[in-house]
């Protein structure tokens, strides 16, 4: 399953940082590396792994390689994740119905 690979790949904190920096838009490797406490070759390596997992894509502009998030990869991951409020409301529904039933059975 695609999300399994994505999860493993994103478990690395530095790689996650590289990934998160791409949320604001596509960037060349040198720009990405500039704001991170790791070397440019290391950033390139992380990007390669992210690309392999389908989370980012690259294109060439002259000699530069520009990286961006791959929307489909994110969508796969998102589908898998429970959403914040969906998850919360479901937990709420279960508790409200359970406690309501308990009250009802006490009255009987």
**Helix, strand, coil share of the chain (percent; to 5):** 70, 15, 20
Helices 40-52 and 13-21: crossing angle, nearest 10°? 80
Instruction: Give yes or no for a contact between 55 and 74, defined as CB atoms under 8 angstroms apart.
Output: yes
Pick from 25, 63, 105, 106: which binds other proteins (CB under 8 A)? 25
Is residue 24 involved in binding other proteins (CB under 8 A)?
A: yes
At residue 57, the 3 state secondary structure works out as: strand
Pick from 37, 60, 84, 105: which binds other proteins (CB under 8 A)? 84
Q: Which span sits near other proteins by CB under 8 A: 1-9, 27-35, 38-46, 49-57? A: 1-9
Q: Please, what is the minimum distance in Å from the beta carbon of residue 58 to other proteins? A: 16
Q: Please, what is the minimum distance in Å from the beta carbon of residue 45 to other proteins? A: 18
Contacts of 34 (CB under 8 A, 6+ apart): none
Residues that bind other proteins (CB under 8 A): 4, 7-8, 10-11, 16, 23-25, 69, 78, 81, 83-97, 99-100, 103
């Amino acid at each position: 399953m695609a999300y399994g690979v994505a999860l493993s790949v994103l478990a690395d904190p530095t790689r996650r940082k590289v990934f998160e920096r791409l949320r604001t838009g596509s960037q060349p490797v040198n720009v990405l590396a500039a704001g991170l406490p790791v070397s440019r070759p290391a950033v390139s390596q992380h990007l390669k792994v992210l690309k392999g997992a389908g989370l980012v894509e690259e294109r060439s502009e002259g000699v530069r390689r520009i990286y961006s998030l791959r929307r489909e990869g994110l969508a796969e991951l998102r589908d898998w994740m429970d959403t914040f409020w969906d998850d919360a409301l479901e937990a709420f529904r279960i508790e409200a119905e359970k406690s309501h039933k308990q009250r009802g059975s006490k009255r009987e």
